[in-house]
C-alpha cells in the first residue's frame, strides 16, 4: 500500500470500503478543515458546525459504497454536509416554533437577546453580522454563495454539488449578494460583502 498522503481520494475510498479504517481516517484529515469552514458559514454556529461535520463523516462512512469514484470526493462530501445542514435548519425552525408557542402560553415575558459589549471590536461585530445574514439567506441562495465565495469552488463545481447549471449558480449568487446588501443596509455604491 502506498502512503495515505500520496493516494488520491478515490484510492482511499476503495481502501476504506475494503475495511481499511486508516484510509477513511486519512480522508477525514484531508477534508475536515474545509468541510468545517463550509458548514460553519452555512449554520453560523461553531459548536453546531462541529457536530454537523461529525454527522457528515458518519453518514459518509455509512454510505461509502454509494460513492461514485468518477465524482470528486469533496463534492460528494459537500452534498452530504449540505443535507445535514438542511436537516439541522428544519429541526431548528421546529424548535423555534414550539419555543415561541410555549412562551406565549407562559408568563408573556419576552426575554431580549443580550446586547453586544461595547468592548467588542468593530471587525468582530461586522463578521458576526455577515455570518448571521448569510445564515438567514434562503437555502437556494445560501448554498451556492458559500460553495463559491467561501469554499472557493467554481460555478460549475457548485452546480455539480447542487444539481444546478453553472448559470443558475451564477444567478443565485447574484441574488444572494443583493439580499446581503439589503440585509446589511449597504448602499448601491458599496461593494457586495462577500
Query: Is the confidence at residue 76, as pLDDT, over 90?
Result: yes
Q: How confident is the model at residue 187 (pLDDT cuts 50, 70, 90)?
A: low
Q: What is the pLDDT of residue 119?
A: 44
Quote the CA–CA distance of 160 and 166 in Å, as a whole number: 8
Domains of the chain (ranges, CATH numbers): 1-86 (1.10.1740.10), 117-184 (1.10.10.10)
Query: Is the confidence at residue 36, as pLDDT, over 90?
Result: yes
Q: Provide the CA 116 distance to its chain's centre, in angstroms.
A: 25
Q: What is the pTM of this model?
A: 0.62
Please say whether the dihedral angle defined by the alpha carbons of residues 176, 179, 185 and 190, taken in this order, is positive or negative.
Answer: positive
Q: What is the pLDDT of residue 107?
A: 47
Q: What is the pLDDT of residue 100?
A: 53
Average pLDDT on 2-24 reads: 83
CB 3 within 8 A of CB 11: no
Query: Is the confidence at residue 170, as pLDDT, over 90?
Result: yes
How high does pLDDT run on average in the chain? Answer: 81
Which of 4 and 20 is assigned the larger pLDDT?
20
Among 25-34, 126-135, 144-153, 163-172, the range scoring the smallest mean pLDDT is 126-135
Query: Is the confidence at residue 177, as pLDDT, over 80?
Result: yes
Q: What percent of the chain has pLDDT over 90?
A: 40
Closest CA to 135 of 35, 46, 44, 49: 44
> At residue 163, what are phi and psi to the nearest 5 degrees?
75, 35
Average pLDDT on 186-192 reads: 64
Query: Is the confidence at residue 116, as pLDDT, over 70?
Result: no
Query: Is the confidence at residue 10, as pLDDT, over 70?
Result: yes
Query: Is the confidence at residue 169, as pLDDT, over 80?
Result: yes
CB 4 within 8 A of CB 23: yes
B/e letters for 121-158, b = 16+ CB within 10 Å, e = fewer, are eeeeeeeeebbebbbebeeebbbbbbbbbbbebebebb
Helices (H), 5-45: 9-17, 21-43
Amino acid at each position: 500500500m502506498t502512503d495515505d498522503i500520496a493516494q488520491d481520494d478515490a484510492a482511499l475510498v476503495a481502501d476504506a470500503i475494503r475495511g481499511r479504517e486508516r484510509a477513511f481516517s486519512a480522508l477525514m484529515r484531508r477534508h475536515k478543515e474545509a468541510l468545517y469552514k463550509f458548514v460553519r458559514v452555512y449554520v453560523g454556529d461553531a459548536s453546531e458546525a462541529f457536530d454537523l461535520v461529525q454527522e457528515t463523516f458518519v453518514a459518509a462512512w455509512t454510505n461509502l459504497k454509494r460513492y461514485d469514484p468518477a465524482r470528486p470526493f469533496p463534492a460528494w462530501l459537500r452534498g452530504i454536509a449540505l443535507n445535514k445542514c438542511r436537516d439541522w435548519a428544519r429541526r431548528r425552525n421546529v424548535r423555534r416554533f414550539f419555543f415561541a408557542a410555549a412562551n406565549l402560553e407562559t408568563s408573556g415575558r419576552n426575554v431580549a437577546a443580550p446586547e453586544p459589549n461595547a468592548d467588542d471590536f468593530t471587525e468582530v461585530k461586522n463578521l458576526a453580522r455577515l455570518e448571521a445574514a448569510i445564515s438567514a439567506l434562503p437555502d437556494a441562495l445560501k448554498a451556492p454563495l458559500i460553495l463559491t465565495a467561501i469554499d472557493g469552488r467554481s460555478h460549475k463545481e457548485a452546480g455539480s454539488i447542487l444539481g444546478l447549471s453553472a448559470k443558475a449558480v451564477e444567478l443565485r449568487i447574484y441574488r444572494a449578494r443583493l439580499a446581503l446588501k439589503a440585509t446589511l443596509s449597504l448602499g448601491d455604491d458599496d461593494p457586495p460583502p462577500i
